[in-house]
Structure 1
Amino acid sequence: MRIGYGRVSTRDQNPEAQEDALKAANCDRIFVDKASGKLASRPELDKALIAAREGDQFVITKLDRLGRSTKNLIELSEHLRDSGVDLVVLDQGIDTSSPAGRLFFIMIGAFGEFEHAMMVERTHDGLAAARARGRVGGRKQALKPRQVQLAQQMYDELGADGKRKHTVQGIANELGVARTTIYRYLEKKEIA
């Protein structure tokens, strides 16, 4: 089965040219999204991907109609490949059922791996540079050392009946943090 997919990026664009090209390519089913914005959902793409079965062809007019970014395109291409679905791009003459088309898939995957490796390398370099300047990453401590000491004192304080005088929720309210934060600091104290 040939499944056609088209997408227009703005409300002003008309999908008819893509629909006509997909019909001319003998697509059995055609799905078209009218999505604007990078984060807009694409329900028709989701339906098309669900409809595509092993041995089917997923037909689009241009490569940019499938993915909004290189990363997104690579992810969708890999999904199709893993599902055993061939990708056909009409305007670029790409057909992954041919050796040249499979080479294209391999190149997309290689570019994706390269892009990921470069991103990881840049992240490590940035963290190393920040550490060299005395900055450490991660979230800022929720409580200052004096507040931690106060929380521990309140937690350890017993009433006349021998029970804890303050609840963890009461301590959290007093210090303006979540109850889980108090537990986290109390656990660190018990471990140390």
Structure 2
Amino acid sequence: MQYGYARVSTKEQETQTQIDALRKAGVDFVFSEKRSGGDAKRPELEKLLSSLKQGDVLVVYKLDRVARSLRHLLQILDRLNAIGAQFWSLTEAIDTSTPAGRMMMQIVGAFAEFELEMIRERTREGLHAAMRRGSKPGRPRAMTPAEESEAVRLVLTRQATKSAVARRFGTHISSVKRALHRASGQCEIFPEH
């Protein structure tokens, strides 16, 4: 049986293009999730890997959808090999049922990891250069310092929940949590509301 895995990094992105390609390739079931590739805890990927049996095939649209590094990719391949399952990447035309496919998988995986490291290095260099010029990376804060101070005071004195404060200042609850974290350094101790 063929099982597909589709992944995007953020909740704003969609997996539909990957799912369409997997369905077109004849995949029976598709596991899909919205998590960073660097996130070690990907429940849908783990559920998929745990459900594979001998003769099954794990199909992905592209290698970087399933593994965050060559090491991670090789770990997944070892798991598949141990149970007698195969791997197929649609865009890289890699099929591990053949020796040539297994070799190509390792070569492509190494280049994918190299490319990712180059992107990270360029991103770091760009951020450092921007900071040296006086830029402050990241999006602007949703609340002014005075609003943050008031939001923190309201939550800490239990005069309002985080959700109520977010509504009051017209922002997302995450902004309130970040303000609490900046104010205390221990945001985890506050109950969710």
What do the CA deviations read for 1:15-66 (whole angstroms, capped 9, x no partner)? 0001101111111111011113723621110111112111111100100011
Shift of the 110–39 alpha-carbon distance from structure 1 to 2, 3 Å rule, reads closer
Alignment of 1:74-153 (within 5 A): 74-104=74-104
Structure-1 residue corresponding to 2:46: 46
Number of equivalences = 111
SS in 1 for 2:104: helix
Q: 1:73: Cα distance to partner? A: 1.4
SS in 2 for 1:6: strand
TM-score by length of 2: 0.52
Shift of the 88–109 alpha-carbon distance from structure 1 to 2, 3 Å rule, reads closer
The CA distance in 1 between the partners of 2:46 and 2:37, in whole Å, is 17
The CA distance in 2 between the partners of 1:86 and 1:26, in whole Å, is 15
Structure-2 residue corresponding to 1:33: 33
SS in 1 for 2:49: helix
Structure-1 residue corresponding to 2:20: 20
Report the RMSD for the aligned CA atoms in angstroms. 2.4
Structure-2 residue corresponding to 1:73: 73
Q: 1:102: Cα distance to partner? A: 2.9
Structure-2 residue corresponding to 1:136: none
Aligned sequence identity (%): 44
> Does 1:2 pair with 2:2?
yes
SS in 2 for 1:101: helix
TM-score by length of 1: 0.52
Shift of the 71–24 alpha-carbon distance from structure 1 to 2, 3 Å rule, reads same
Question: What amino acid is the match of 1:56?
Answer: D
The CA distance in 2 between the partners of 1:16 and 1:94, in whole Å, is 22
Question: What amino acid is the match of 1:74?
Answer: L
Instruction: Provide runs of 4+ in structure 1 moved above 6 Å.
Output: 108-111
What do the CA deviations read for 1:64-110 (whole angstroms, capped 9, x no partner)? 01101222112111111222111000000000112321333566899
SS in 1 for 2:5: strand
Query: Which one has a bigger Cα radius of gyration?
Result: 1
The CA distance in 2 between the partners of 1:85 and 1:98, in whole Å, is 12
The CA distance in 1 between the partners of 2:110 and 2:83, in whole Å, is 19
